[in-house]
Amino acid sequence: MLKIGYRKQAVKALAAMPAKRAAAIVAKIESLARDPRRRDLDVKALHGQPGFCFQVGDSSVIYTIERDRIVVDWIGPRGGAYKE
């Protein structure tokens, strides 16, 4: 299992959203940490920059894999990451 790290924005986003949605996102991140190559999680590679993205409901999660850990870079509304 890979370790999981969160950037400051991701922590703030999880704290600001409803508990059920935050729990669903954290559960999917933990599933990903157990097996990053799982196909059923519908993970897509980002275009033009390193990293990956997946959706949980109306939220997007952008992360990178660094050696032995997953770093969650951004969590927010679907499509919102591409406007920043």
Domain 3-83, CATH homologous superfamily name and number: RelE-like (3.30.2310.20)
List residues bridging with 33 in a β-sheet.
none
| 0.85 surpassed by pTM | yes
Contacts of 24 (CB under 8 A, 6+ apart): 56, 57
Which tens digits make up the pLDDT trace of 24-68? 999 999 999 998 887 888 899 999 889 999 999 899 999 999 989
Q: Which of 9, 4, 79, 80 is nearest to 36 (CA)?
A: 4
pLDDT of residue 64: 94
Domain ranges within the chain, ordered by starting residue:
3-83
pLDDT of residue 82: 54
